[in-house]
Chains A and B, each alone.
Chain A
Amino acid sequence: MLELRKDIFADERDDNLKEIGKGTQRQDMLGHVTGTSTYFGDHKLQGMLHLKVVRSTQAHARLRRIDTTDAERSVGVRRIIRGADVPRNLNTLLSLINFGKDDEPSLAVDKVRYKGEPIVAIVADSEREAFEATAKVRIDYEPLPTLFDVEEALKPGAPVVNETYPKNAFIYHDVYDHQRLRFGDADAALATADHVLEQRYQMSPIEHAPTETNGAIAAPDTNGRYVVYTSTQALFFSVDTCAKILDVPSNTFHFIGGTVGGGFGGKVDTLTEPLAILGAMLTGRPVRYVFGREEEMQYGPPRGAERIYIKDGVMRDGRIVARKIRAYFDSGAYTRLSSYAAVKCAAHLPGPYTIPNVYGDVYCVFTNRTPATAMRGFGVTAMDFAIECQMDKLAHLVGMDPMEFRILNAYRDGDMKAHRREAKNTALIECVQVAAEKAKWPIREEFRRASSRKDGGGSRAVIPPTPADSRARPAAPAQQRTTYDRLPPTITREPPREPPPPASPPSPRPTAPSHGAARFSSVFGTRRR
Chain B
Amino acid sequence: MAVTVKTFASSNEAAAALSSDRAARYLGGGTLVMRALNEGDVSISTVVRTNDQTLTRIDASGPRITLGAGVTFARVLAERDLAFLHAPARSIGGPAVRNMGTVGGNLFAPNPYGDFTVALLALDATVAVQGGFGARDIPIEEFLQSRERQAGTLVLSVSCARPASAEAFRYRKIARIKPKGGSVITLAAHLPISGGRIAGARIALGSMAPTQIRARAAERALEGRILDAATIAAAASAASEGTSPSDNALGSAWYRREIVGVHLRRLLSGQE
Contact = CB atoms under 8 A, between A and B. Distances in A.
Contacts of B39: 292-294
Nearest to A52: B40
A129 B1 CA distance: 6
B38 A132 contact: no
A52 B1 CA distance: 16
Interface string B178-192: 000000000000000
A126 B2 contact: yes
A116 to B, nearest CB: 14
B42 interface: yes
Interface residues of B, number: 7
Nearest to A74: B1
B38 A128 contact: no
A349 to B, nearest CB: 32
Nearest to A295: B39
A381 B2 CA distance: 47
B42 A135 contact: yes
For the residues of A in contact with B, the DSSP-based class is helix
Interface string B1-35: 11100000000000000000000000000000000
Contacts of A512: none
Contacts of A294: 39
A131 B38 CA distance: 10
Interface residues of A, number: 13
A162 B119 CA distance: 49
Contacts of A135: 42
A80 B2 CA distance: 20
A7 B42 CA distance: 66
A30 interface: no
B71 to A, nearest CB: 27
A284 to B, nearest CB: 24
A389 interface: no
A435 to B, nearest CB: 28
Nearest to B2: A128
A298 B252 CA distance: 18
Contact of A293 (B1, B38, B42): B38
Contacts of A126: 2
A128 to B, nearest CB: 6
B1 A75 contact: yes
Contacts of A52: 40
A168 B40 CA distance: 35
A134 interface: yes
Nearest to A132: B42
Nearest to B37: A128
6 contacts: A128-B2, A128-B3, A131-B40, A132-B42, A292-B39, A292-B40
Interface of B: 1-3, 38-40, 42
Given A128-B2, A129-B1, 19 more contacts: A52-B40, A75-B1, A126-B2, A127-B40, A128-B1, A128-B3, A128-B42, A131-B40, A131-B42, A132-B1, A132-B42, A134-B40, A135-B42, A292-B38, A292-B39, A292-B40, A293-B38, A293-B39, A294-B39
